[in-house]
Chain A
Amino acid sequence: MSSTTDISRRGFLKIAGLGGTALYLGVFPSATGAEATIVNAGQAAYQSIELNAWVYIDTAGKVTFVDHRAEMGQGSYHSVSQILAEELEVDLNDVNIIFGQGDKKYGSQVTGGSSTIRMNYKNFLKLTATAREMLIAAAAAQWGVAAAECYAEHGHVIHKKSGKKAHYGELVVAASKLTPPKDVKLKKRSEYRLIGKPLKRLDTPLKTNGTAIFGLDKRVPGMVFAAVERNPRLRGKVKSFDASAALKVPGVQKVFKIKMLVFKTYREGVAVVANSTYAAFQGKKALKVEWDDSGFEHINTADIYARQLENVKTKEGLFLKKQGDPDAALAKSAQKLDLIYQTPYQSHSPIEPLNCVAHYQGDKVEVWGPIQAPDWIQDALSEEMGLKRENVIVNMTFLGGGFGRKAFMDYPHEAAVISKEINAPVQVVWTREDEMTQGPYRPGITYRCEASINNGDIDALKFRMSGQNNDHWRDPKNKQQANRSTSEGFLQPYYDSIKNISFAEVIFETPIPSMWWRSVYASTNGFAYESFLDEVAHAAGKDPMDLRRQYLTDERSQKLLDKMEEISGWKNRKKNEGFGVAITECFASTVGQIVKVSRKAGGKVKIDKVWAVMDCGWYVNPDIVQAQVEGAIVMGLGAATMHEITFTDGLVDQKNYHSYQMPRIYDIPPIEVHIMENAEDAGGVGEPGLPSFAPALTNAIFDLTGTRIRKLPFKMDEV
């Protein structure tokens, strides 16, 4: 089969050595066209034949699909299945879906960068089409007819002329002995029966009656509960603690000091193990701990922004991109703009607090939890605990939100450490306060944006940012180069139409743990760069939409702009209406938004409507795409107008939702989402809807009021 090397690297069957049980055969199409790998044992859990890493069919015909990525709301559980079912010719409602354990055969399992579909769909289509062809070939051989006379439908192979029919279960053993075909024909988009349709999510019924198992719902026999009091100063240590009152709380069994990973450093805390979550929480409250703050007490928000501002005002930084000579253009510019924008630290605050179940047994540990990156957890726990990677068994549950936070390894590490200490399975549960005050956070950033305008045209753009780089924790070498995300969010076509452009990062360090937050740097860059382009448009005497049209000259962008104008009535704006536009790129998708604002009776500004146009190329399920954009806009609204994380003397000021306010149902304006139809490759869906909301909103507020907002968050009723 002609496949990408990517598939071959996904490895082959894990042979689970089922001594004494029946033999099971598996086949995995090989990228090199070699014979299918035939193995004599399948994974015990499935008792069925693995057609490829994502599809199992047992001899009774039961089809199991694997979602190897985390399902945290973005819909992979459904969308992966909707793709796998297409070319395999099975019915979606007949399929059983499981989450893949951490396993290298899946390639990367890090559920980030809106990558689950866009990085895998071509492989999924080819793998399932190959499996289908092998099942057809097996049936044809059995019946002594030509494969070309047979077709697959609803999990069966059918011989057209005779009407002979066999279900896949009858064919898998024979199919597994065949050589995978070199080339398989894939359907055209117009031939899809499932992809592109707004099918109902397969996980919805589980999420309306309490049966979906999230991390917090995982139970294993003999499991106890734990809570941890952690040094409130982010990475500090425990000097001493007094457990006497905690141990008197009914249900509390054990109290001890632990050390858990914060990226590649550690923080310390005191663990309380009990027979219920409540008892563990009560025990935690009763602890008396003296902390060693290790010098973190100097962290203050005002100082952070002052240092960042000093950086962008006095240093050029490390260039990520530079074309032409923006400095020369700025030096002889007739009209210059030089503006500062600031974006805050943000907490992910997924609605399911962090938690993880671990069971440490001798030379292995098994964990279950809301985990965004099971492969990273395998790496981290095997390294930290000196275990073989394959002896770190990582199981994903449903995630009650993730947004980047649940790709971090501190809470599974805590659970494993506690389980090892007590020699029993344990569930560690974080309180909301734990989650909000410990980080990691989206980093706060200061931007300096400069432009040279010549006769109303953009001559040069020069961007500089200073804020923490999320990559630094993974590899110190990253500190020698500019943040790779410095230009994230900025549209590629601008490079073709604007001669002089540069992006630079002035490195800024603090000990605050920072981590991707939905849409990552595009979520903050987008605010700075798209606000700035709006200001450039006004300075140049141009309509902000016309400015985009002038510089986004490619056909794909022009179509997006046409759609945005058409649905929003941009050209027919009325007096007393403020319209704002912003367009950002994020993970290979472009989203343009238009926000309309007006004044309420008392003079305060309100949002009347949000229009979003998503160009994500090839997509699976339009209803899920729309839902993701709606949700991203709501999350963007919260981040722009309601909450931020601030630090005073090394402590986080926000503790729970009363001080970190979330959007509520009454805050949400009408949102209309359109999806562009084209033949482009798939882009991301879960994140790209977020970045363009905040600048579209503040640009609209400027249009209505003349007030320019350059620092987030701001309060709508203070505009």
Chain B
Amino acid sequence: MIKLTINGKEHTLDADPEMPLLWAIRDLAGLTGTKFGCGVAQCGACMVHLDGDAVRSCVTKIKRAVGKQVITIEGLSDNNNHPVQQAWAEIDVPQCGYCHSGQIMAAAVLLRDNPNPTDADIDIAMAGNICRCGTYPRIRKAIHTAAELQQKSLK
């Protein structure tokens, strides 16, 4: 048995310690917001926060998450109201929407570490997230909007 803390809740899972966190989150803990896209850390659809770092859960073994805080898209905010989520809604970023759990989790870490990112900062932080629908222009715009929302909320 392995104990994982996901979105503040403790889960006791009967799982191989080598199992990628992605499948433990989805199939064992039953949280399906985190997505499978490539399985080899190429697309970022599976991104979650592990003690505050953005990690690709498809290549992160669950043994590495023991004793740490895992946050998934479901746990990012209480009411879909993280500045990144608000900005995504304001700009209407998603099309199919499948990659956006990962995009939003990546953008949230960027904005925490860099409250006012430049386009070049966004290029670096978001380079690991593929959007097959091609919503990139709106992702960029929404991150700038989220930065403004975040600053307003701090005032």
Indicate which residue in B33, B34, B45, B140 contacts A351 across the interface (CB closer than 8 Å): B45
Q: How far is the CB of A636 from chain B (nearest CB, A)?
A: 9
A192 at the interface (CB under 8 A from B): no
Q: What size tier do the contact residues of chain B reach? A: 35 or more
Within 8 Å by CB of B37, from A276, A353, A663, lies A353
Q: Given A208-B80, A351-B130, do A72 and B96 touch, yes or no (CB 8 Å)?
A: yes
Do A432 and B97 touch across chains, with their CB atoms under 8 A apart?
Answer: no
Question: How many A-B residue pairs lie within 8 Å, measured between CB atoms?
Answer: 182
Which of chain B's residues has its CB closest to A282's CB?
Answer: B16
Q: With a CB–CB cut-off of 8 A, which chain B residues contact A208?
A: 80, 85, 88-89, 94, 100, 104
B123-A635 in contact (CB<8A): no
- Smallest Cβ-Cβ distance to B132: which chain A residue: A351
Whether A665 lies near B122 (C-beta < 8 A) is yes
B92: contacting residue among A200, A352, A432, CB under 8 A: A200
The answer to whether B115 has its CB under 8 Å from any CB of chain A is: no
Which residue, of B16, B96, B130, has the highest number of chain A Cβ atoms within 10 A?
Answer: B96
Bitwise interface map of B from 126 to 140 toward A, beta carbon under 8 Å scored 1, else 0: 110111111111111
Known interface pairs A203-B94, A623-B92, A627-B138; A656-B38 also in contact (CB < 8 Å): yes
Picked from B35, B73, B138, the residue with its CB within 8 Å of the CB of A400 is B35
Q: How far is the CB of B107 from chain A (nearest CB, A)?
A: 11
Please report the C-alpha to C-alpha distance between residue A203 and residue B36 in the assembled complex, in whole angstroms: 20
**B66 at interface, CB cutoff 8 A:** no
A548 to B98, CA, bound (A): 40
Known contacts A203-B94, A278-B27, A666-B127; is-contact A73 B76 (Cβ 8 Å): no
**Which residues of A have CB within 8 Å of B37?**
351-353, 432
Known: A351-B99, A352-B98, A631-B95. A210 touches B130 (CB 8 A): no
Determine how close the nearest CB of chain A comes to the CB of B56; give it in whole angstroms: 12
CB proximity to B under 8 Å, residues A594-646:
623, 627-628, 630-635
Contact B74 A209 (CB under 8 A): yes
B134 and A635 contacting across the interface, CB-CB below 8 Å: yes
User: For the complex, is B55 an interface residue (Cβ under 8 Å from A)?
Assistant: no
CB distance from A519 to the nearest CB of B (A): 13
Q: Which residues of B sit under 8 angstroms from A656, Cβ to Cβ?
A: 38-40, 42
A212 proximal to B (CB < 8 A):
yes
Confirm or deny: B101 has a beta carbon within 8 angstroms of a beta carbon on chain A.
yes
Q: Which partner residue on chain B sits nearest A212 by CB separation?
A: B97
Q: What are the residues of chain B within 8 A of A113 when measuring CB–CB?
A: none
Q: A349-B132, A351-B43, A663-B136 are in contact. Are A205 and B126 (CB under 8 A)?
A: no
Bound CA–CA A631/B32 (angstroms): 25
Taking the closest CB of chain A, its distance from the CB of B48, in whole angstroms, is: 11
A401 and B23 alpha carbons, distance in the complex (Å): 21
**B35 A658 Cβ-Cβ under 8 A:** no
A209 touching B76, Cβ below 8 Å: yes
B-contact bits for A261-278, CB 8 A (1 contact / 0 none): 000000000000000111
A351 in contact with B98 (CB, 8 Å): yes
Q: In the assembly, what is the distance between CA of A73 and CA of B76, in Å?
A: 23
Complex contacts, A225 vs chain B, CB 8 Å: 27
Known: A72-B96, A277-B26, A635-B134. 12 other contacts (CB 8 A): A207-B94, A208-B94, A210-B101, A211-B33, A213-B32, A351-B131, A432-B37, A623-B92, A627-B92, A630-B138, A662-B43, A668-B136
